[in-house]
Structure 1
């Protein structure tokens, strides 16, 4: 840093203190110079320049021409949460404040990702506020997970969390038997002044790097999900019997004689939902959407309920599921397993040929599932390769397609999930990759679940006389996309020679649907659909209903998966209250639940992504040296990401390793360009790459451009 910059920074700090010490006093540049004993003409000009800078930052007001006074409304410090970057900088997220405060690495003051801190604003520009952390109010955690690097006289813990940009120092006597290169949980004990690394001690050895159990444990630990249930929760769950309470059966609508079946993944164990089918005398069809009645067994305030709320949802990693509820409930008592009587919360609809709801009924039932279909089995029926429940499946498929068509015409987004999963051998090693494709059988279930969720939201949320929405409800909301993100998407698809202008939000979904339909069979389809998803807002749980943009529903909630989502369990309770005419005022409780489970959902998604990245690296570990055709899937100033067409795994080519030229990233055109040859790399380019390295610690695949 130059001497002039140091001097300006020091003078600015001194000027700030003058105004802060006498907030009601007005000063001119001449008076400030006199207080600071500045006589040099150029330095006096610098004082005036600093005063004008502080005025533009709203720290000062110009009382009258040339006279400056402290701005009464200027707030210089805030309490917020640290959102760290992998490069050591941070953004401080402040509740109820527009825009985050950027903190450079040298100003983070030993704060870690997730800590609650006080931040002081040091500079305010038009589009960027900068600050420094002045104190740590509350550490998010004192326990950390990482891999040991044991030396002769001490050891370091290299953390798994790349958002914490420091290693921990561990004295040898604090290793508790842990050995070099083992993955451990450690507790931070202190961080002495003037020392680069915090001190820590080992609490527990969890395994070796690259071991599936150790790595999945690490991912869950980092995202604050617990694998084991507390003993109190286990004991409560073991008291839940599989046999139905016959007194409770008498209080319910008995639907055990209705034809009922489930359609789920072939390896499913927790069956949240079942469908029933009946043809009515008037020619209409009655479809029952029957949902596992978790609320029968999990009562508010119990240990199981508190733990379910804490978790918020089940977490689906590549090789395992971390359930929201203990197995006794999720896989047995609540699960709508075939050939067993079960308690359900049902939404029953009378539908005409056009899929319009003529009548509906909500209530507690007892059901009996007659058939258990995997998606593949139901798809064979739809494709005419099987006759099992042929008439019923085809009739429901027809209705589902009619409902879906209407939904698209109303402006819903036609985006299908692009899930890629691994096939594992008996030792837990990934030995194959499968891309999941959403077929008619998947869409059949999807449409009836959407119907139930929408109609429950309407029943619970719509105030009489269409006077607005009931805030004593939890809605699943999806906001409209921002024009800025859509314009970025527009620039992105130009790389593939597609044009799209977004003049107003109302026709965005139809334009994107038209594009996706047009390019359905092209190599760039997956990439463009993925970028379309990224350009949308994230769905959240809210008590303030803003509708669901992606589904084109004014009212939408989650009712259909209470085994794996706490939101659905709460909605079941709210629905039962309304059916029994119980007037309850939840105050701010539902809002607090909504914020918490939205946060837990984001952490679950992050856990699932990390799990996928780990198994991508593990799958490619023995494929170093092999070459693959691929598609450029991401560009940055440090290189480009390539998704290999054969195995759908993604790796990175560093910008410095690109051959035959010195390349740079052009942020305006979203391209990597050669300075001499002007050769250009774009999103979607087809390239040939070689796997040159796999870093299991970073879950990173290194690639080299072949062609």
Structure 2
């Protein structure tokens, strides 16, 4: 240092969207900087989750640190929160502007909004509400607001569903106008003679649906008949929704906004009105139904000899559940045993080919809750992906692949008309840093990854962990290392499936992307160039579908987490559990409860056997006195000691390794 003066660190100024954690501190993502800028709790300067903010920060390789200088644009003024009556009993008054004239409503991410007492008399303690910020005086630490809507007491099934849908601006109901239009479509839904004449008639061929036991909308059916020795005709029949759903009609526009049906435990928020999704379009048994079909001739090796795509009329003979088909496969007898057995045999051939071609094979366990009359979870089922599931899944994957190949070929032949190349479901290569992180996570557990052959190495890893306590945890890390699939007119292939061409075609009752594909396919089949839109048109539609898909996944995950927390409450102080460590931060350890795959948390300071500190590499903690080291994936014993429905935490007690 010259002249004894310290060299001042240079500040940088930029803008970004702020993400506030449950602990009160925040991060701002800045383009061009690898790590997000850390904002301490006392430097967020009245910013709220999602606000566009101006910040100043110092560059630091370990943790760039900054502060909010200005809020450029508020993300929103309405928030979902929990009302607290007489908050003095729950909070330290010195941190809040509480007076005799105020009540308080607590908002997620540690934001608290004050409600005037004369405006909150009719509300109850622990009501979940929608509140709007009306003003934020400069002298106040907290904003002042008003209650717009009450959802009910926190933790109640209806309260959690309605507040969650409100938060994501999803409508739970259809308007009277849309319901009336759906009734008109239903009333005109009979199949006339001309329509039957224009379609391939498949009604004489054995056809059935295979779905979950609680399914009401049947998108797909499958038919099978023997053509000659060791050659079968397989028909994959998809509901012809676009025959009834006219483009740019009010129901079509509503379906586009919704983009997909939302499946919550005990409730479905459908993309289409029930009279269409569950009745008119649904491929119910013993009723003539209109479908869009892929007909394949397949030999005993699973090779496709011939294919046809077009409009059909079908009549399903039987509505099977997955469990019913599984029993037929296992016991080798039952209705349509011969047909189901051939389909199962061919599906195994298709799986083998797909895996040989480099497809990833995640054999996930699905968690389902049994609910009582109040829709509270009372028991849990961990369902493995059985043969009946994979049978249907393989034929749906094959259909989506073949439809994409057909459209792509047709569009490439017509590029002079400036038509879109196709509609693709694409999946990029995994992020290299995430794969390296996965490799480091699994190393202490005795597993490895070959970075030169990632796919085959991951498949080998998935086979190695099958049935092990760490299986669920490692599978989750594998999924996190993968890129997110999305829709696009630009094809880069599907990395996870190892398909060059792939689209979504098989679920038009519950996915709008499939409706777009149906319409484009029909225009190509009819050579109707005038109805095929520009690339920009399709790209805009597909971006919307991709964005909405992520939002709907967030809703379903968040509600599932609520169900897990509610279920965990049953076991308060009841017994010990085996758990697997899934992660760390500076204050906590996260544990997956092996029997139920529910994640809980233990504060480091609450572990009595030693004083543990977090290793900054993110993979382990170490004890100060006894030097015990715990890694991600280690198995320990824990007990559930508390459940926080507000913050959706399961609080655990550490027993031993």
Residue 321 to residue 137, structure 1, CA distance change in 2 (3 Å)? farther
Aligned to 2:366: 419
1:146 paired residue among 81, 86, 94? 81
Aligned residue-pair number: 634
1:543 alignment partner in structure 2: 489
Among 211, 232, 238, which residue is 1:291 paired with? 238
Task: Give the C-alpha shift of residue 461 in structure 1.
Answer: 2.2
Q: CA deviation at 1:106?
A: 4.8
- When residues 645 and 107 of structure 1 are mapped into structure 2, their CA distance, relative to the original with a 3 A threshold, is closer
Q: Does 1:615 align with 2:536?
A: no
Tell me the distance in 2 between the aligned counterparts of 1:655 and 1:300. Answer: 57
The 3 A distance-change label for structure 1 pair 107 and 633 is: same
Which of residues 602, 622, 629 is equivalent to 2:550? 602
Within 5 Å, give how 1:470-481 maps onto structure 2.
471-481=420-430
Partner of 1:705: 654
TM-score of the pair, normalised by structure 1: 0.84
Distance 1:100 1:306, change over 3 A: farther
Question: What is the deviation of 1:139?
Answer: 3.8
Matches within 5 A, 1:276-675: 276-281=223-228, 283-462=230-409, 464=412, 471-502=420-451, 504=452, 507-583=453-529, 584-636=532-584, 637-668=586-617, 670-675=619-624
Distance 2:234 2:643 in 1: 51
Q: Deviations over 1:642-663 (max 9, x none)?
A: 2223333221121111122110
In the TM superposition, residue 108 of structure 1 has moved relative to its aligned partner by 4.2
TM-score (norm 2): 0.90
- Contact 2:53/2:73 (<8 A) preserved: no
Cα contact 2:420–2:535 (8 A) shared by 1: no
Structure 1 residues 99 and 305, CA gap change in structure 2 (3 angstroms):
farther
1:406 Cα deviation (Å)? 0.7
Structure 1 residues 471-510: Cα deviation after superposition (integer angstroms, max 9, x where no partner)? 54331111111221111111111222123331x3xx2111
Matched, 1:178 2:148: no
Q: 1:531 to 1:336 in 2, by over 3 A?
A: same
- In structure 1, what is the Cα distance between the partners aligned to 2:578 and 2:199? 57
CA contact (8 A) 1:630 1:642 kept: no
**What is residue 32 of structure 1 aligned with on the other side?**
none
Q: Partner of 1:210 in structure 2?
A: 155
Are the counterparts in 2 of residues 635 and 672 from structure 1 also a CA contact under 8 Å? no
Q: For the residues of structure 2 that align with 1:570 and 1:396, how far apart are their CA atoms?
A: 29
**Structure 1 vs Structure 2 CA RMSD:** 2.7
* 1:62 counterpart residue number: none
The CA deviation at 1:291 is 1.0
* SS at structure 2 position matched to 1:456: helix
Deviates more, 1:276-285 or 1:364-373: 276-285
Partner of 1:522, secondary structure, is coil
Structure-2 residue corresponding to 1:119: 54
Q: Check 1:97–1:677 CA distance in 2 against 1; reply closer, same or farther (3 A cut).
A: closer
Tell me, yes or no, if the aligned pair for 1:347 and 1:362 is still in contact at 8 Å: yes
CA displacement at 1:109 relative to structure 2: 4.5
Q: Deviations over 1:223-251 (max 9, x none)?
A: 33221223332222222216423143333
| Inter-CA distance 680–305: structure 2 relative to 1 (3 Å threshold) | same
After alignment, is 679-688 or 567-576 more displaced? 679-688
Q: 1:236 to 1:510 in 2, by over 3 A?
A: same
- Higher mean displacement: 610-619 or 134-143: 134-143
Check 1:97–1:350 CA distance in 2 against 1; reply closer, same or farther (3 A cut). farther
Counterparts of 1:98 and 1:471, CA distance in 2: 36
1:273 maps to 220
Determine the C-alpha separation between the residues in 2 that align with 1:139 and 1:367: 54
CA contact (8 A) 1:628 1:644 kept: no
Task: Identify if the C-alpha distance between structure 1 residues 588 and 124 changes in structure 2 by more than 3 Å, giving closer, same or farther.
Answer: farther
The answer to whether 1:227 aligns with 2:172 is yes
SS of 1:184's equivalent in the other structure is strand
